[in-house]
Structure 1
Amino acid sequence: MPDRAEIRIGEYQSVPLDEGRLTTRDVDRLHALRSGGHLTLAANRSGWQLKAGASVGVLVLDRVRLVIEPKFAIPGERLMDWLAYALGAPAPVPAPARRWATGPDGYADLVAAALLEQCEKLVHEGLRRDYVRHAGTEPVLRGCLDFAAQATRRYGQLDQLHVRTFDRDAGIWENRALATALKAALTLTSSPDLARALRGVTHAFPGPATPAGALRALDRMQYTRLNDRYRPAHAWARLVLRGGGVTDLLTDRGAGADGLLLSMPALWEAVVRRLGTEAGVSLGGRAVPSSGTTAITVRGDLGNASAFRPDLLLSLPASGMAAAPVLLPVDAKYKRYDRHSVGAADVHQLLTYGTGYAPGGDPLAVIIHPSPGGHTHRVLRVGGPQGRPLGAVHVLGVDTRVVPAESSTWVASVLTRTRH
């Protein structure tokens, strides 16, 4: 990897760049990332002003290696737990065996190392082989004779036969997608040891495909008992290959810059959806869609009708003798509400959710935000004139230093109290 100047900034921070730091190709790639809300690039008198958004990670450009750090750190081992939890993939290996470290390379090296360990495991077990179509020439007839190729390329000569065969081979998409991801991961890491290990395991896989082709194959992948062991490796491969997006966490904007950018708000929404769903199931409830008959809609304005949709809507058994289940809206906020008061816009939003899903009852809604200092819980009670209650918003801070399963249990305990 060529030497590049490393620039480190935090979420929502900006940094000036001299005009010579960015090539024309860099400028085009950064502008492509702007549409996804990852960052903004504006020209100024001395060159450029680059401002990060809510995405963190590593961006490898022609002359610059940009590292965008999160507002608050999650320990490296715990970060992988939360990423795996959000992706719905099992943690690659047991915690004591991990070689991940929280260093200056941050998220990119962590994910590359996770991909490496899963690929090493597959190589050790033996790569899956399946029948693959091949077209080539043979001295004897194998498979099917390609009459058109034989007639137009050999002109009646029979010393070599153009044939089409199906042979068991490792060059299937399960393996080729991983080879593509391993090659992409090499551009993300600056650790010599990790880069050497990535090169070593890459040789065990068949030739890589294009990133776009590999992603299409991964999106179409169907898992059976024959290839289910590939599922964790493919989850990390998608994370690497998207670069500016993950299927379940981000929207892929087709950005061409090499790098790994995680949208922290989208990541947190995925975490909260799973946390809340698991907590609701443990209480005998379930997640329900917030569209269709359960949608909160706005009509009568210019254009089409719009809708208010919480990140998660839980249907929970009602306490006491009430027969109808309680609909509880839950919204994910990637904000430090353990240190700051809840913004007025968020209060208005949650009151709308609570009123919409508790007509004639006590409006209730839940905010879940990250809280690296420990679990927190407080209740905002909104009142009108003469003290008339308008609704309550429970603000839950989830400790990101603990394992997700422990957080799910704590969320369930708080939701139990909200119904009494």
Structure 2
Amino acid sequence: MIRRTILEWETIRYGWSADEIPAYAADRIAAVAAASPLSGRGGGGVLEHGRKGLRARGIVGVIAADGCAMEILPKIEFPGEDGAKATGSIRRRLVHMIAVALDLKIDAGQVTKLDWQRETLLEILIRLFSEKLVDAVRQGMPRRYVEHADDLPVLRGRLDVTRQFTILSAEPSRLACRFDALTPDIALNRIMKAAVAQLTRIARTADNQRRLRELAFAYADIANVPILSLRWDHVVLDRTNSRWRELLNLARLLLGERFQTTSAGGSDGFSLLFEMSSLFEEYVARMLKRALLDTDLRVVSQGGRLFCLETDDRRGLFQTRPDILVKRGNKVVQIIGTKWKRIAAHIDDPKQGVSQGDVYQMMAYGQLYKCDRLTLLYPYYAAAIRDEGVHAAHRMTGCSHWLETATIDIGRGEMFRERLRAIIDHNRNADGSWPEGLNWEIKGPRTAAGIV
């Protein structure tokens, strides 16, 4: 089995050494990647299948094909770490981001047991799912009362009068019964069984395979339902089965229902892929909600939905969905646009690498939502000329709106909510000048010039 790990936007050349990939394996992996909806119309949205190598793009995850697999990890820096240690730290941080986005709870014991440096992202997620599912099944599989209809020699439940006096009119020895029966063959268990079956085909570590075989035996009496036919809308979670919520979220993740796409074609291949821009946005939004719990502010993710234009008959055109709205009551006090890309490292770049399209987008948001404070939030990296936090604020020409650029260090897990809140709490004086004694250290030049 050929396994390779690279970072997003990196290239792996064809060859047979440990840091290269054989051309035949690259062809298989590229074919699976091209089948993913995230690959785009040209098929190059996940991997660029070049003449000399494969180049990853802004999609991370695992792509598996016959006899080979490639893991793509995000560019998250951990100073002082390199090699396998750095790779393990990136996996750990990525799983943490996924757990926050999906409301998963991973206890300290599970984190300690995981082999972050040797197990791929896919095997780690399979292990988390299978261990949680084994524990849940041991406590009892969920059951619900489901209505049944059957012709029985004695009455059970209530009589189906219409059927009894039409179809069974010539068979008085049989009674058309309708009754409720407690059964484990429900939508939730069918989803779990589908996930177990899917993961059994792709798991590679012995422990994962063993747990999945045990689970397959436990779900033997549950109906087999194809993944595309699963009825997610029939799942009912209440106080009796609320402990299954996390498992349902994990199953939705592994079966391709959220943040990423999975593709499987028999034994040809499988992919579990995440668009980092979407994951970064969701992670920041959820962490910000936690950070502002004790305030009068609330966070709305992908909300607003105001239209840029109106037709003559008042129909809206070009609906907007800002990444994050920070609201006090019904008033939008800050709009945050998350951007999973690196801000400029050169001090002589007045635009800091901010794209003109992003500026236009934030200007439109400020006008539509009548919000004076706009923030573009990027991931921090070591080569940046300033520390994480608010880098600069620019007054938008001809109006009272201010556009801030800021970074947050994803690699630093400690006090992440506090550091994120510090960016929100960062304020200017009424005249737009920067106050003294801020609770957040700002380094580098501060400007108030309009962005061209």
The answer, yes or no, to whether TM exceeds 0.5 is yes
Specify which of 35, 38, 60 is matched with residue 56 of structure 1: 60
Moved more, 106-115 or 341-350: 341-350
SS of structure 2 residue aligned to 1:131: strand
Specify which of 96, 104, 109 is matched with residue 96 of structure 1: 109
SS of structure 2 residue aligned to 1:194: helix
Cα offsets for 1:223-275 (capped at 9, x unmatched):
21122111011111111111xx51xx24x587754232122111111112223
* Separation in structure 1 between the aligned mates of residue 136 and residue 277 of structure 2, nearest angstrom: 32
Structure 2 runs not aligned, ≥5 long: 15-21, 77-86, 347-351, 430-452
Specify which of 389, 408, 419 is matched with residue 377 of structure 1: 389
Aligned residues of 1:176 and 1:209 also touching (Cα < 8 A): yes
Specify which of 363, 371, 383 is matched with residue 352 of structure 1: 363
Q: Tell me which residue corresponds to 1:306.
A: 318
Specify which of 289, 296, 299 is matched with residue 287 of structure 1: 299
Give the fraction of aligned pairs with identical amino acids, expressed as a percent. Answer: 19
Q: Tell me which residue corresponds to 1:364.
A: 373
* Separation in structure 2 between the aligned mates of residue 9 and residue 102 of structure 1, nearest angstrom: 15
* Separation in structure 1 between the aligned mates of residue 196 and residue 321 of structure 2, nearest angstrom: 38
Aligned residues of 2:377 and 2:408 also touching (Cα < 8 A): yes
Q: Tell me which residue corresponds to 1:393.
A: 404
Q: Tell me which residue corresponds to 1:5.
A: 2
> Number of matched residues?
381
Residue 46 of structure 2 corresponds to residue 39 of structure 1 = yes
Q: Tell me which residue corresponds to 1:320.
A: none
Q: Tell me which residue corresponds to 1:414.
A: 423
Q: Tell me which residue corresponds to 1:126.
A: 140
* Separation in structure 1 between the aligned mates of residue 359 and residue 201 of structure 2, nearest angstrom: 44
Structure 1 runs not aligned, ≥5 long: 318-323
Q: 1:29 to 1:364 in 2, by over 3 A?
A: closer
Specify which of 324, 333, 338 is matched with residue 339 of structure 2: 333
Q: Tell me which residue corresponds to 1:191.
A: 205
CA RMSD after TM alignment: 4.5
Specify which of 266, 272, 276 is matched with residue 264 of structure 1: 276
Specify which of 215, 225, 237 is matched with residue 209 of structure 1: 225
Shift of 1:337: 3.4
Shift of 1:402: 1.3
Which structure 2 residues correspond to residues 86-165 of structure 1 after superposition, within 5 A? 86-87=101-102, 89-92=103-106, 94-98=107-111, 99-132=113-146
Which structure 2 residues correspond to residues 236-255 of structure 1 after superposition, within 5 A? 236-242=250-256, 246=258, 249-250=259-260
Q: 1:122 to 1:358 in 2, by over 3 A?
A: closer
Using the size of structure 1 for normalisation, the TM-score is 0.73
Residue 117 of structure 2 corresponds to residue 83 of structure 1 = no
Q: 1:162 to 1:97 in 2, by over 3 A?
A: same
Aligned residues of 1:115 and 1:182 also touching (Cα < 8 A): no
Cα offsets for 1:134-187 (capped at 9, x unmatched):
78999x768599999xxx9xxx9x9x9999875423222212211211222233
Higher helix content, 1 or 2: 1
* Separation in structure 2 between the aligned mates of residue 125 and residue 372 of structure 1, nearest angstrom: 45
Using the size of structure 2 for normalisation, the TM-score is 0.68
